[in-house]
Structure 1
Amino acid sequence: MQLVRQNEKSRRRWTARRLSVAVLAACALASGCAAGGGDATTVRPAPGQQPLKAPPARALDSYATRLKAERARVVTAAKRWGLAAPPLAAPAPPARKPHIEPRKGFEVDDQKELGLPPVFTTIPTKKKIVFLTIDDGAEKDPAFVRMMSELKIPYTAFLSDYLAKEDYGYFTTMQRAGVGLNNHTLHHPYLPGLSYAGQKREICGMQDVIEKHYGKRPTLFRPPYGNYNQDTLKAAKSCGVKYAPIWNAEVFVDRMDYREWDRDIHPGDIILTHFRGREDWKGTMPDMIRTFMKYVTGKGYAVARLEDYL
């Protein structure tokens, strides 16, 4: 009988220990009341059990506070740069990237059989996002880089060496801010007018330049003027290119132009513009961005980063 009572006491003590651990763990998970004022805390385990780690109870609050502060900075920057409204925040990129097919009518012979890079104008998505891409590299306006950085507007550059080489460092500043630097050939020729070997020199040569100055061979290539043939895509593939995005609309300092009959933008559209200034436009690159952002924000679109969807 005495042995039974001892076993009953041991069972109750064991149950009490387990209940205590469960309460402490639940408290830490739900409200951050574990020791340490809500930081990650080790809860003392029952005999033979592993320590229980409570997650940081204030992590979500801290993240939300940072997001709020960053948004406030963007709103302030929008006023300083003369935007009609602050840019809309883009949604998080998909964990599973969309499958990219060549746009219908933009294929070349034996496209699939040869596994050639697809030429496309739009990313398949239902989200109200567009992608800003900027070509060539002629204008090197430091105000533009500051503006885009302060407004947190993502964009993708396609560089031609005959222009970029005037100041490689200008584009290094962009790269450090997260801008992708991609291939737009060495000299911006009309590629279908060249032999396969000539096209390969233009494309692979630019791959070498970008790797030398920016440390990475790009996988995106845009043919100058949007013109290409089978040799173009074969040469691009041989140089390590996986995608050949062109565009569905183009923005200038004073207007938008469109590929589609409805003269509008659509979810996932790739937008083209150029590194240009007053020599070519009636304004500056910041003026162009004001035109662009007024248009897309007014239509309820955010600007996303192209590379995040490929």
Structure 2
Amino acid sequence: MVISAHPFRRTLGAALVVAALASAATACSDSGSGPAEPERGAPAPAAGQQGRAQAPGSAGALNAYVERVRKQKAARALAAKKWGLAKAPLDAPAPPKVKPRITTRKGFETDGEGLPPVFTTVPTKQKVVFLTIDDGAEKDPELLRMMKDLRIPYSAFLSDYVVKDDYGYFARMQKSQESGVALHNHTLNHRYLPGLSYKQQKREICGMQDVIEKRFGKRPPLFRPPYGNYNEDTLRAAKSCGVKAVPLWSAEAFPDHMEWREWDRDLHPGDIVLTHFRGKGDWKGTMPDMIRRVMNVITAKGYAVAKLEDYV
């Protein structure tokens, strides 16, 4: 059975929760007649300092954290203005301590058992969505600068036939943010997998696992089939070379519009948003234009972008 997960047109830390902590200290003597005397041998307090409470070390650490968060939020607001966003992106909440259990979406099943789950939405009640970018054809340095300035997490699903002319670009991408940008598998040659034999599919999927591990240092746990099309052999082949899950998407972003999978044409908690590495040769705009569009939509709807790998 062939599964097609693309119903519409296809084209080629922790939450920064600023806590305000109010603390007060009072000093009193046992008798109420004045400050208690220092212990014998202890240095006497300086004049005028007898009643001043000493701040505990934890308060200093908290103050430093609050100040760091304040500066990060201010920097993000400036970056949003620099890159032409309507509003600064919302900060994602802290990821779950235990990742949610991922299961295959109803209607996306194959007859096989024990295969990697295929899903379009991560089960969560948090108002977060996940940004994913496919293939790797366009290598726009402005995208790296924009995403770093805005501190937007994202996952790239790469195909070797379009990334092999500049692996260095994706190595820079991987290191461009403190938490890193996750690089995942989109096959060697972006072929229609259900039309291939099991052996051919395995070469496409496992071959790309090898490329990513060799070039970027880590064997990816996530795989997305080209065009969202797969069959049981696809999932069997993916599992054989270490793939744990197969995220598809609920919405797709372009520089000038959004396309939606669901009937209500809206975002939902845990939705996966797809876009592509494309430029003006393919789109009505650039990669930064696309990011502006999708982030304005996400922020206006009250969602933050979280890191997919924190949940899957």
1-structure distance, mates of 2:59, 2:183: 40
Structure 2, unaligned runs of 5 or more: 1-38, 40-51
State percent identity of aligned pairs: 68
Q: TM-score, normalised by structure 2?
A: 0.81
2-structure distance, mates of 1:245, 1:108: 15
Q: Give the drift of 1:33.
A: 5.2
The structure whose Rg is larger is: 1
Secondary structure of 2:63's aligned partner: helix
Corresponding residue of 1:159:
158
Secondary structure of 1:154's aligned partner: coil
The structure, 1 or 2, with the larger RCO (C-alpha pairs under 8 Å, 6+ apart) is 2
Secondary structure of 2:130's aligned partner: strand
1-structure distance, mates of 2:101, 2:162: 33
Mean alpha-carbon deviation: is it higher for 184-193 or for 173-182? 173-182
2-structure distance, mates of 1:216, 1:174: 14
Amino acid at match of 2:293: T
User: How far does the alpha carbon of each residue in 1:165-205 deviate from its partner, in whole angstroms, 9 at most, with x for none?
Assistant: 11101111111121000000000000000000000000000
Secondary structure of 1:123's aligned partner: coil
Corresponding residue of 1:182:
184
Corresponding residue of 2:137:
138
Secondary structure of 1:147's aligned partner: helix
**Alignment counterpart, residue 229 of structure 1, candidates 228, 231, 248:** 231
2-structure distance, mates of 1:264, 1:38: 48
Q: Give the drift of 1:128.
A: 1.0
User: How far does the alpha carbon of each residue in 1:45-68 deviate from its partner, in whole angstroms, 9 at most, with x for none?
Assistant: xxxxxxxxxxx3311111011010
Amino acid at match of 2:74: A
Are residue 301 (structure 1) and residue 303 (structure 2) matched? yes
**Alignment counterpart, residue 110 of structure 2, candidates 72, 92, 108:** 108
2-structure distance, mates of 1:57, 1:77: 30
Q: Give the drift of 1:38.
A: 4.6
2-structure distance, mates of 1:138, 1:194: 23
2-structure distance, mates of 1:38, 1:108: 59
Q: Give the drift of 1:135.
A: 0.1
Structure number with the higher helix fraction is 1
Corresponding residue of 2:98:
96
Secondary structure of 1:139's aligned partner: coil
**Alignment counterpart, residue 197 of structure 1, candidates 190, 199, 204:** 199
2-structure distance, mates of 1:260, 1:294: 20
Are residue 125 (structure 1) and residue 124 (structure 2) matched? yes
2-structure distance, mates of 1:282, 1:250: 15
Amino acid at match of 1:125: T
User: How far does the alpha carbon of each residue in 1:231-264 deviate from its partner, in whole angstroms, 9 at most, with x for none?
Assistant: 0000000010000000011000100001111111
2-structure distance, mates of 1:33, 1:239: 61
What is the number of residues matched between the two proteins?
259
Amino acid at match of 1:168: Y
- The 1:33–1:209 alpha-carbon spacing in structure 2 relative to 1, beyond 3 Å, is farther
Amino acid at match of 2:158: L
1-structure distance, mates of 2:53, 2:133: 51
Structure 1, unaligned runs of 5 or more: 1-19, 21-31, 40-55
Secondary structure of 1:181's aligned partner: strand
Corresponding residue of 1:52:
none
Corresponding residue of 2:168:
169
1-structure distance, mates of 2:59, 2:152: 32
**Alignment counterpart, residue 68 of structure 2, candidates 66, 83, 93:** 66
**Alignment counterpart, residue 270 of structure 1, candidates 261, 272, 276:** 272
Amino acid at match of 1:255: H
Secondary structure of 2:281's aligned partner: coil
Q: Give the drift of 1:164.
A: 0.8
Amino acid at match of 1:173: R
Q: Give the drift of 1:110.
A: 2.5
Amino acid at match of 2:254: F
